[in-house]
Amino acid sequence: MQLRKAVAAFCATAIVAVALPSSSGAAAYWGAYIGNHLTGTEAPWDMNAVTRFESNAGKTLSIVNFGSPFANCYSSPCSYYSFPTTPFNDIRARGSIPMLSWSSQSLPSSLNQPNYQLADVISGAHDSYIRSFATKARDWGKPFFMRFNWEMNGNWFSWSEGVNGNQAGEFVKAWRHVVDIFRSVGARNATWVWCPYVDPSNKLHDLASLYPGDAYVDWTCLDGFNWGTNPNAPAGSGWRSFDRLFSSTYSQITGTIAPAEPMMVGEVGSTESGGSKAGWITNMFGWLPTNYPKIRALTYFDKYDSGMDWPIESSAAATNAFSKGIRDPGYTTNSYSKLTASPIPAP
């Protein structure tokens, strides 16, 4: 989320995920990125946070999303983060599917990371680490979603082209390089998720030039947020409907860029400021089944971030609206402790 405010000036806004509910005969995974507001520690580092969120939503999760960068540079020298075996085991034990949002950057996050440019990934500067990570993923052996270097069409993360010294054409090369390493060690249990940001005003990077190709992508994805009139929102933000935000980018991806791939919503949330968050959530659940049939999974961004009130727990009305929508039997529950298929198919 950090630095993402810049996009709202032209994209400003709302979202959420879904797929075809039971009324259409199709199903959708659903899940959340859960912050520390429920127990004091984010999931999956505290799985009690998952229990609390499920209680609020009134349904068990089929996906648990969480993030990790390549390295920790808060102290010198930097140290690489290892494959999260224990959190993956904890998520799997609950019957949910792990989704790792993995990024080729270091913490603390910033746009200026000269040792973590796309060119460094392409040239092999991090190959030893990536190969070790992939080998541990292979040894873990179960299917998981790998949401790598998301929102690459913006300019708020260090892995986007046009920032941090990154050049045109390097995103696709870096993506393919990482996937090739995973495949070279036999880590075929990673399901690769390509996840740009919604672009209703056509002001972000061209998506077609950033798509690694069907041979390197298993699911497409979209992120998007309704910033409304929250005082922490960027200048130019405003209340936007789900359809206003998503329709054009959804049509571009499903129509011409990757029509054969299933889609998910990787992060989504709405503020309370500027309209009815409960009504926005209700409308979102109404729109998705009919207008967005390729969306077959959703993970809600249930985290207070940069002063924004994204979680469903921001009001009783928002919690109730989300719970009512997600209880549709088309959204799957935590029934995936025995999942073996890779790449992970649409439900």
Give the count of beta carbons closer than 10 Å to the beta carbon of residue 59. Answer: 20
Q: Please, are residues 342 and 71 in contact by the beta-carbon 8 Å criterion?
A: no
Whether residue 288 is contained in a domain is answered as: yes
For residue 319, the surrounding DSSP H or E stretch is: helix 316-326
Whether residue 236 is contained in a domain is answered as: yes
Closest CA to 217 of 264, 250, 184: 264
Whether residue 97 is contained in a domain is answered as: yes
Strands (E), the chain: 29-34, 63-72, 79-80, 97-107, 144-148, 190-194, 219-226, 263-270, 295-302, 304-305, 308-309
Looking at the structure of the chain, the number of domains it has is: 1
Whether residue 163 is contained in a domain is answered as: yes
Return the pLDDT at 174: 99
Express each pLDDT in 85-139 by its tens digit: 999 999 999 999 999 999 999 999 999 999 999 999 999 999 999 999 999 999 9
Whether residue 334 is contained in a domain is answered as: no
pTM above 0.85, yes or no: yes
Return the pLDDT at 18: 35
Strand partners, 305: 308
CATH code of 210's domain: 3.20.20.80
Return the pLDDT at 144: 99
Q: Pairing state of beta strands 295-302 and 29-34? A: parallel
Whether residue 158 is contained in a domain is answered as: yes
Q: Please, are residues 94 and 47 in contact by the beta-carbon 8 Å criterion?
A: yes
Whether residue 175 is contained in a domain is answered as: yes
Domain range for 91 is 5-326
Tokens coding 128? 């030893």
d(CA 29, CA 45): 22
Whether residue 122 is contained in a domain is answered as: yes
Intervals of the chain under pLDDT 50: 2-25
